[in-house]
Structure 1
Amino acid sequence: MFMQSNRARFVSRAVQTSITLTFAAMLAACANYAGIHGDEEMAKPQSYATEQSLPADNGRWPAPDWADQFGDAQLHALLAEALAGSPTLEQARARIAAASAYSETAKANTLPQLGASYSWTRQRYSENALVPPPYAGSWQSENKGLLSASYELDLWGKNREALRAAVSQVQASQADAEAVRLALDMSIARAYNQLARLYALRDIVKGEVLQREQIVRITAGRIANGLDTEVERKTADADLATSRATLSALDGRILATRYQIAALLGKGPDRGLSIERPRLGIGDEVRLPGNLPADLVSRRPDLVAARWRVDSMTHDIKEAKAEFYPDINLSASLGLDAFGFGRLLTAASRTMSAGPAIHLPIFDGGALRAQLKGRYADFDYAVATYNQTLVTALSDVATDLSQIRSTDAQLIDATHAQEAARSAQQLALTQYRAGLTNQLTVLNAETNALAAERAVADLKMDRRDQQIALAAALGGGYTDTQADAIAAR
């Protein structure tokens, strides 16, 4: 008994050693990926110098309804309308659906596969082949029904990594859709602000027309009193015609902007005709939130999408590395196979099979190495894209903030200039009516006043445009709820 026990243990150890050695030999025989690696590294937001350009000012991140700060209910309704029916957003949703379908396919590869089949074949069997008499030389109907199952062990995680890569692509597509939505919101808000600008300029030009009509009447009175000549009359008439032409041009630009907004809504041009004049307010005070560079990577949808793509490529690389190791598939089948229908459902017609299948890559002409090099190249590209997106994001925020601060400073001086120009215009007109000055002085004063009016109107609209751009640069209220998942990986 003792000798038999020792012999059993010896045989068991020998079998285990043999299996281990065989497995090690299989791995050694595999193609290898030594020397293949990536060169890029994801940049950290804190590594960029932003303290002076992006000072923390105890501000808040934009909310999803950031456009409501301007107090225009029509703008709110337009953004909601675009969200419901824009073809651009429908394209983004279709890309999410495609990525989700691919992830479901990848998930299916990690699960056991079960299938059933039935076939009927009418065949004449050769008299000189393997089939013996009495079937040799006869026509027979073969009926075969099989229930089959298979499962890939996925010892090296190839299918699991493919699934993770697909899930990351879904997340990237969802972030892309948010980036599209944010870009659409910004485009509509800026076009709407442009419509407000054109209306403000139209008001100025309309006042200019009224002013020049008054100058025409004053000039006519001065000519009757012998103070002016036909030269002044023609000059006044020409200036009036020019102002009316400018008014007509603004009406055309207003109509074109309405059509532009309708197109952004995904509607026909007639939709733009029903848009009322904007009633936009000043908006919230512009103050940057704290921890800006670090938190920006989870609040800008384009940055989030770029990070998920890097994460996806990381899993693609692991999947490609797993291709270098053996694939082991387990399969089994159970069914019935018989000539004719009469004997198909009998115990003698049973057929069964089971066993493993191993695929070992030994020499493939460098195909697997080339595939892995391609994955690393894609990874490097994804990392470089992320780094560039991060640089662009920080630059966007800094640029928009600096423009707002510059516009605020310009508005102070422009407002003073506007007040002084208005006073000079009124004084020149009064003196011209009283015959104390000439028409040229009035026209110069009027030109200066109109230029000052336009400058203030443009600066106010520019500031609102910059506020809209800053809200978008800060992510427009988006937050990646899966950011911790990337950090964990």
Structure 2
Amino acid sequence: MSPLQTPPSHSTDTQKSRAMKSLSLSAPALSCRAAVTTAVAALALTGCANYFGIGSDKQMSSPGQYESNQSLPSQGGQWPSLDWANQFGDPQLPQLIAEALEGSPSIAQAQARIAKASSYIESSRSALYPKVNASYSWNREIYSANSIYPPPFGGTWYSENNALASASWDLDLWGKNRQRLGQAVSQERATEADMQQARVTLAASVASAYNQLARLYAQRDIAQREVQNREEIGRITDGRVTAGLDTNVERQTAIGNIATTRANLSDLDGQITVVRYQLGALLGKGPDRGLQIVQPVLASGGAIALPDNLPADLLARRPDIVVARWQVEAALHDVKEAKAEFFPDVNLAATAGFDAFGWGKFFTAGSRQIQFGPAIHLPIFDGGALRSQLKGRYADFDYDVAGYNQTLVNALNDVSTQVASIHSIDRQQADAQRALEASTSAYQLSVVRYKAGLSPQLQVLSADQSRLAAEQTVTDMRMSRRNMQIALIKALGGGFDATKVDLVVPTDARVAQAPQSVQPLPASRATPTAAD
């Protein structure tokens, strides 16, 4: 052995043996720590804010759940079209409706609400994309010569330039931003349907007011004829008084009746003017516009025939039902957005730029500043704020579902009520017409007998009063039936069709349910619910 070599010693072997023992013991120690770390992490995640136990079992009703075959039988009729006013045979009516839809401030308000809702869509959609910003600042300052900066820095003016570009992106792994966008879209669709409801209501209001104007004109014609009848009775009475057949009592009675009838005529003229003003307001114009409307010449709308499959098809024909449906859809998006709040937010952010004193080294490598990396936010304990928020969203969902169901019930009741009313008044009109014919004959006969001195004045006045009441009843029934037809047209949607204005809620919507998981649902789930 060379004298320069050191022979192995027993102590060296002992150290190696201890090292091997140390290594053999460290492996299980590391795996034990990893297991403990994993367990702690699992417990931490288990203790995070969660939404277990929060849900809803409310479901939207379908028309088939309500028995209506007897009240709303299939009759092969047609749904109202947008030009439904033409069926009444007065060209002025559809012109007035078109003018109202064009110039009414209420429609302009509805359009403004749509524009506002559309802006929320744009705002919500922007959250799905990365954000990029840039900034530049220039500062000139002098450092104190008696502070921490020694000369030549202290007491000297310096300029600092700073230019930065930053970018960030919310990865939206759990769809929170997408649900906000879906909620905004649903609200915008509901607002559009609400505008359609405003149009249907306005058109029906114009038609009803126009029909009221026609009724008042018809009643005025009756009152005008009544003035003539009372004047004729007065002349007959004067002749009978001269002949000594009547006294001054009958003469004064006749004079009083003529004055009363003329007062009624003046009252009707005032009512006609008021309705004209109302029409001017409905048109979105001043009261003078109403004075330009000529006397209506409305005809009967004819017999009614309900369309087939009415309850089911009514869902797309009534804008108020469509509004309620989209509101439920918006509530479902709100529920899903609230559930996504329980999951981690992952954001990517990066910043790069230059920062330097003066301009000489501003755009050099040494002046660079760069920062990038992910940011993760996980709600662990918030005092129940997220759970409370989700409970509120579910309450909103329950409220909107109940509102939809009530709207559907009201719609079916509305249609059936108008149909029953029209059938009832059709039966009444035949009897009322016969009563008018009989009372007219009785009045004419009483006048002849009064002229001949065979009956007193009181009998003529009584017969005339009966004839007048019968004629007013027939006229009111005719006008009431037309109002019922207008109401039925409105109840059937007034020509609205959601399929033609892109307002039908997709049957394969991914928000057909508000589940515990925020994973998309299969398209087959078409009935909205929040059972979980």
Superposition TM-score tier, normalisation by shorter sequence? over 0.9
| Structure 2 Cα separation of the partners of residues 321 and 132 of structure 1 | 58
**1 CA distance for matches of 2:143 and 2:38?**
47
Q: 1:437 aligns with which of 445, 455, 461?
A: 455
Letter matched to residue 96 of structure 1: I
1:245 and 2:289 matched:
no
Q: Cα offset for 1:126? A: 7.9
Matched with 1:449 is: 467
Q: Which residue of 2 aligns with 1:488?
A: 508
Q: Please report how far the alpha carbon of residue 130 of structure 1 lies from its aligned counterpart in structure 2 after TM superposition.
A: 9.6
Q: Distance in 1 between matches of 2:274 and 2:87?
A: 26
Alignment of 1:21-420 (within 5 A): 27-123=45-141, 135=153, 139-420=157-438
2:507 aligned counterpart, secondary structure: helix
The Cα of 1:461 is off from its aligned counterpart by 0.2
Change in Cα spacing, 1:187 to 1:128, as seen in structure 2 (3 Å) is farther
Instruction: Label 1:304 to 1:364 Cα distance change in 2 as closer, same or farther (>3 A).
Output: same
**Letter of the structure 2 residue corresponding to residue 469 of structure 1:** A
1: CA distance, partners of 2:142 / 2:264:
93
CA separation of 1:484 and 1:245: change in aligned 2, threshold 3 A: closer
Query: What is residue 14 of structure 1 aligned with on the other side?
Result: none
The aligned amino acid for 2:135 is S
Deviation at 1:256, TM superposition (A): 0.3
SS of alignment partner, residue 351 of structure 2: strand
CA distance 1:286–1:362, shift in 2 (3 Å): same
Paired residue secondary structure (1:351)? strand
* Aligned equivalents of 2:152, 2:337: Cα separation in 1: 54
Q: Which runs of 5+ in 1 are unaligned?
A: 1-16
In the TM superposition, residue 67 of structure 1 has moved relative to its aligned partner by: 1.4
- Shift in Å, 1:210: 0.3
Deviation at 1:480, TM superposition (A): 1.3
Cα distance in 2, alignment partners of residues 131 and 325 from structure 1: 49
Q: Is the 8 A contact 1:311 1:486 kept in 2?
A: no
For the residue of structure 2 that corresponds to 1:329, the secondary structure is strand
The superposition leaves residues 212-265 of structure 1 with CA deviations (integer Å, 9 ceiling, x where unpaired) of 001111111111111111111011111110000000000000000000111111
Aligned residue pairs: how many?
473
Q: Does 1:471 align with 2:489?
A: yes
Q: How many Å separate the matches in 1 of 2:504 and 2:199?
A: 23
Task: Give CA deviations for 1:389-417 in whole Å, capped at 9, x if unaligned.
Answer: 11111111011111100110000100111
Q: What's the secondary structure of 2:395's corresponding residue?
A: helix
Shift of 1:282: 0.7
CA apart distance, 1:351: 2.2
Q: Distance in 1 between matches of 2:76 and 2:148?
A: 88
Cα distance per residue 1:293-347 (max 9 Å; x no partner): 1111111101100000000110110000000000000111222222223332334
Q: Distance in 1 between matches of 2:378 and 2:203?
A: 53
| Cα distance in structure 2, aligned partners of 1:277 and 1:341 | 84
Q: Distance in 2 between matches of 1:458 and 1:209?
A: 19
Over 3 Å counting, the alpha-carbon distance change for 1:261 and 1:109 in structure 2 is same
Q: 1:357 to 1:45 in 2, by over 3 A?
A: same
Where 1:79 maps in the other structure, the secondary structure is: helix
Contact 2:350 2:370 in 1 (8 A): yes
Residues 129, 471 of structure 1: alpha-carbon distance in 2 compared, 3 angstrom cutoff: farther
The equivalent residue for 1:4 is: none
- After TM superposition, give the deviation of residue 25 of structure 1 in Å: 7.0
Change (3 A) 1:19 1:335: farther
**117-126 vs 91-100, greater mean Cα deviation:** 117-126
The DSSP-based 3-state class of the residue aligned with 2:382 is: coil
Q: Residue 431 of structure 1 contacts residue 437 of structure 1 at CA under 8 Å; is this kept in 2?
A: yes
Structure 1, residues 333-384: CA drift from partner, whole Å, max 9, x if none? 2222222233323343222221111111101111111111111111111111
User: How many angstroms does 1:129 deviate by?
Assistant: 9.9
Q: Following TM superposition, by how much is the alpha carbon of 1:73 offset from its aligned partner in structure 2, in angstroms?
A: 1.3
CA distance in 2, matches of 1:224, 1:264: 56
**Contact 2:76–2:308 at 8 Å: present in 1 too?**
yes
State the secondary structure of the residue aligned to 1:344.
Answer: coil
Number of the residue aligned with 2:9: none
Residue 476 of structure 2 is matched in structure 1 by: 458
- CA gap of 1:384–1:454, structure 2 versus 1, over 3 A, is same
**Residue ranges of structure 2 left out of the alignment (5+ in a row):** 1-34, 510-532
CA distance, structure 2, for counterparts of residue 132 and residue 350 of structure 1 = 25
Per the TM alignment, residue 36 of structure 1 is displaced from its structure 2 partner at its CA by 0.9
In structure 2, C-alpha distance between the alignment counterparts of 1:274 and 1:226, rounded to whole Å: 51
State the Cα deviation string for residues 64-118 of structure 1 (Å, max 9, x = none). Answer: 1111211211111111111111111111111111111001100000111112222
**CA separation in 1, counterparts of 2:100 and 2:306?**
28
Structure 2 Cα separation of the partners of residues 353 and 131 of structure 1:
28
The amino acid across from 2:338 in the alignment is A
Q: Which has the larger radius of gyration?
A: 2
Q: Partners in 1 of 2:151 and 2:283 — Cα distance?
A: 78
Residue 172 to residue 32, structure 1, CA distance change in 2 (3 Å) = same
Deviations 1:117-165 (A, max 9, x none): 2222334568999989865675533221222111111110000111011
For the residues of structure 1 that align with 2:144 and 2:323, how far apart are their CA atoms?
64
Provide the secondary structure at the position in 2 that maps to 1:488: coil
Write the distance in 2 (CA, Å) between the matches of 1:131 and 1:469.
Answer: 86
Counterparts of 1:467 and 1:377, CA distance in 2: 39
TM-score calculated relative to the size of structure 1: 0.92
Distance 1:141 1:20, change over 3 A: farther
TM superposition shift of 1:28? 3.6
TM-score normalized by the length of structure 2: 0.85
Structure 1 residues 28 and 158: CA distance shift in structure 2, 3 A: same
Instruction: Give the distance between the partners of 2:463 and 2:368, measured in 1 at CA.
Output: 106
3-state DSSP class of the match of 1:149? Answer: strand
